[in-house]
Structure 1
Amino acid sequence: MKLRLLKSFQSGLSACLLAMCGLSDAAAADNWHWHGFVSQGLMQASDSNFVNDDGAISTELTEFGVNGSYQFSADLRLSGQLMYLDGGNRYASGGRVDYLFLNWTAVNNLDWQLNLYAGRFKNMHWLYSSTRDVPMTRPMIVLPQSVYFDAFRDIAVGSDGIALQSTNTTAIGEFEMIWSYGAIPISKEMARRVIATQLRGDTEQKYVHQATLFFRPANSQTQWGISLLDSGFEYRQAQPDLFFDGEFTVQRVMANWRYSAELWELSSELMQERVFARGFYLPGFNRNQFAQGAFLLGSYNWSENTRLYASYDWYTANKDDRGGALLPLQSGGLIARYFGYQRDWGLGITQELDRNLRLKLEYHWITGTGRLGPNVVPAIDINRSRQHDIWAVQLMYWF
């Protein structure tokens, strides 16, 4: 069944791109390129709803997709990716268009390159935001949730709008500047995984505005970056509904760093996120809260075919209440303190089995439930344990 879906995705993407190009198969042969991947695994998150509600071993670790591009000319290209995901509670299962955009290279010389993207472009602002959509290009099966919150995956992977990317080489190093503006449609199922399982109304992302600066010093193996994000969401209640009309403003400041050596790599991102809520819980309700998070992720080439990974991820939902002491007081004892934070130690190993065949194994020891979905109204009836863990094994093939 999944292989038939993959073939349908491949045919659909080809037809979509060729139709947009207005070209026949023969005319497009030289300029058309496509790739695909299939990935299947097993996963268990005992004592939490990260994968499912009962904590059982799950096969809901399926990812396959097809991506392709058509080169109109040396400076104009069309790219797209169709994706199928089955991840249990992590994100909505089914197909989606991760990206479909035109890329115009306006300037391309030795010192300066300027690209314009229009359509559903990829999020290029964070260290792993542009590579998290493909299992082979992610460092780990489960990325640090402080920054790469899985329930938010389809909202964060890309946006419908425009983006600019400028890369400048100078005497002191390389500067890369990225700017983007857009929005993404939000389905009810997606909103329920992020906001609340009881949600009945409609959720809309009004806009997301991002800007990033990366700096790679000359004769150095490091990269430094800073990113800004401003986004607005709107909720319109249904009848009947447990929630009211409301608006959310989400603003992030992020700093990142990466060091790449011959056999090993270290990377880190730090973020502070402001969430301003108006209405939703009650008419006239207002709450302004700052979350903070950070991770350190390292990898080492043990051998030609084996790579080891280790990570530590830290998150607090309220920087003024790091231990979550206010949550029981504010909720009349319904929400435990451990919903206010999350700490995650992770270990992983990747083994190359063949030229295009890879096996990943991973384990996470977690304290706190602050980064389990839904995030706005937590699932207190399921996540009753302060300590929980995740293990996963995933086999992936690409072509």
Structure 2
Amino acid sequence: MQKLFKSSHNAAGALLVALGLCQATPVIASETWHWHGFVAQGLMRSADSNFVNNDGAISAELTEFGLNSTWKLSNTVRLAGQLMYLDGGNRFQQGGRIDYLFLNWTAINDMDWQLDLYAGRYKNNHWLYSATRDVAITRPLIVLPQSVYFDAFRDIAVGSDGLAVTSTHNLNFGELELNWSLGATPIPKEQSQRVISTFINGKTEQDFVHQFSVFLRPAQSKSQWGISLLDSDFNYRRVANDIFADGDFTVQRVMANWRYSEQDWELSSEVFQERVSVYGFYAPGTERTQFGWGAYLLGSYNLSAQSTLYLSHDHFFANKDDKRGYLLPQQSGGLIPAYFGYQRDTALGLSHNIQPNLRLKMEYHWNTGTGRLGPNVVPDTVVNRSRHHELWAVQLMYWF
């Protein structure tokens, strides 16, 4: 399975550059080829955590630049992809990446049923914002609720190399959408250090990620309901003089979501339970399983045609049977404080369109707990010494 889903970055990158991939209002377009682009730059600060950097200074590492394109090969086949550059401080690995690059075949397209098949680095269509979080202008917030959209895991969650199927049915009771995918994502060493531990030297690989989701949009309703399932395995292989052992990780998630839309306001929510099992890694023969839980509620209100107000509350527990993290100091010999077992975040944001293709976003986050600061397998207890930490961010974004 692992070999099947490994990709050739050089070949894919050359193809994306040749296509000139982009996102937004088309600059150059024909009947067969459309390309778009966007750039976003901002400032952010989190003085009492390592979310942005380790010294708490104001940072300009809030840069996003993307090019994406769609090339219509026939009436039923298209090639699509996106080349992205990110600089997000401790949140992401700095540099370019291919968010997606896939062939899409529309096998069926009639009045009541559409069936699409994807091969390559497909997009994750299983969560409410998983398919739109990669573009600054399509995210409701600069920093999405971290319980679900954990930034250190961004490149693994945006897309995978493999196969995906989407089927949309118009039925008497409403529209039913089914999504299935199977693939894997390459994990560079720097990214695994952001997720697992800054002290690892070995190699981390995703063996596979298998996902299935269902979305129901009832007829004559302003709501959408959905449920998604995820099953994924990872492995870690140590090197000489490594302080960690070989290890295997299993992540399984069940998530329900809901969205309600009115003309001037919208509410959305996702709630999940996640099983995380670790075999080895800390020491040979170690086995540990715990069930995490998370949920958020996000609301938006259009103050005017140009301005939108956002408010969200996000809650995460690393262990649903130890919501206050009291077991962490006991299990770690006092090295890991209890507040690493949870995180609550309340955020207030404002978005304003200065011009039709120029937008300014501002937001402030009040956090309690550090359970969603990376790395989260072996947490950073040196920098993250405060149970309370705040974050502000401002970003100017332009699309073309």
**Which band: TM-score by shorter chain?**
over 0.9
> How many angstroms apart in 1 are the aligned matches of 2:94 and 2:145?
21
Q: CA deviation at 1:32?
A: 1.2
Q: 2:18 aligns with which of 15, 19, 22?
A: 15
Do structure 1's residue 394 and structure 2's residue 395 form an aligned pair?
Answer: yes
TM-score (norm 2): 0.94
* Structure 1 partner of 2:151: 150
> How many angstroms apart in 1 are the aligned matches of 2:145 and 2:195?
17
> How many angstroms apart in 1 are the aligned matches of 2:48 and 2:312?
21
Contact residue 42 and residue 396 of structure 2 kept, 8 A:
yes
* Structure 2 partner of 1:364: 365
> How many angstroms apart in 1 are the aligned matches of 2:291 and 2:109?
41
Q: Cα distance 1:184–1:11, how it changes in 2: closer, same or farther (>3 A)?
A: closer
The count of residues paired between Structure 1 and Structure 2 equals: 383
Q: CA deviation at 1:73?
A: 1.1
Instruction: Using the aligned pairs only, state the percent identity.
Output: 66
Q: Which amino acid aligns with 2:253?
A: R
CA deviation map 1:185-220 (0-9, x unaligned):
000000000000011000000000000000000000
Contact residue 19 and residue 69 of structure 2 kept, 8 A:
no
Q: CA deviation at 1:242?
A: 1.0
Q: CA deviation at 1:74?
A: 1.4
CA deviation map 1:168-194 (0-9, x unaligned):
011101100000000010000000000
Q: SS in structure 1 opposite 2:328? A: helix
* Structure 1 partner of 2:339: 338
Alignment of 1:177-192 (within 5 A): 177-192=178-193
Q: CA deviation at 1:14?
A: 4.6
> How many angstroms apart in 2 are the aligned matches of 1:291 and 1:99?
29
> How many angstroms apart in 1 are the aligned matches of 2:140 and 2:18?
32
Contact residue 259 and residue 265 of structure 1 kept, 8 A:
yes
Do structure 1's residue 108 and structure 2's residue 109 form an aligned pair?
Answer: yes
* Structure 2 partner of 1:282: 283
Contact residue 20 and residue 68 of structure 2 kept, 8 A:
no
Alignment of 1:58-69 (within 5 A): 58-69=59-70
Contact residue 14 and residue 68 of structure 1 kept, 8 A:
no
> How many angstroms apart in 1 are the aligned matches of 2:217 and 2:53?
41
Alignment of 1:225-264 (within 5 A): 225-264=226-265
Q: Which amino acid aligns with 1:122?
A: K
Do structure 1's residue 117 and structure 2's residue 104 form an aligned pair?
Answer: no
CA deviation map 1:270-309 (0-9, x unaligned):
0101001000000000001000000000000000100000
CA deviation map 1:42-92 (0-9, x unaligned):
000110000000110000000001000100111100001000000000010
> How many angstroms apart in 2 are the aligned matches of 1:193 and 1:70?
35
* Structure 1 partner of 2:329: 328
Q: Cα distance 1:375–1:341, how it changes in 2: closer, same or farther (>3 A)?
A: same
Q: CA deviation at 1:13?
A: 2.6
Q: CA deviation at 1:30?
A: 3.8
Point out where structure 1 has 5 or more consecutive residues left out of the alignment: 1-8, 19-25
Considering only aligned residues, what root-mean-square deviation do their CA atoms show, in Å?
A: 1.6
> How many angstroms apart in 2 are the aligned matches of 1:383 and 1:29?
51
Q: Which amino acid aligns with 2:16?
A: L
TM-score (norm 1): 0.94
Aligned structure 1 segments of 4 or more residues deviating by more than 2 angstroms? 9-14
CA deviation map 1:3-36 (0-9, x unaligned):
xxxxxx9997351589xxxxxxx9x954111000
Contact residue 182 and residue 209 of structure 1 kept, 8 A:
yes
Q: Which amino acid aligns with 2:104?
A: N
Contact residue 17 and residue 70 of structure 1 kept, 8 A:
no
Point out where structure 2 has 5 or more consecutive residues left out of the alignment: 1-11, 22-27
* Structure 2 partner of 1:163: 164
Q: SS in structure 2 opposite 1:191? A: helix
Q: CA deviation at 1:145?
A: 0.2
> How many angstroms apart in 2 are the aligned matches of 1:11 and 1:107?
31
Q: Cα distance 1:183–1:10, how it changes in 2: closer, same or farther (>3 A)?
A: closer
Contact residue 325 and residue 337 of structure 1 kept, 8 A:
yes
* Structure 2 partner of 1:195: 196
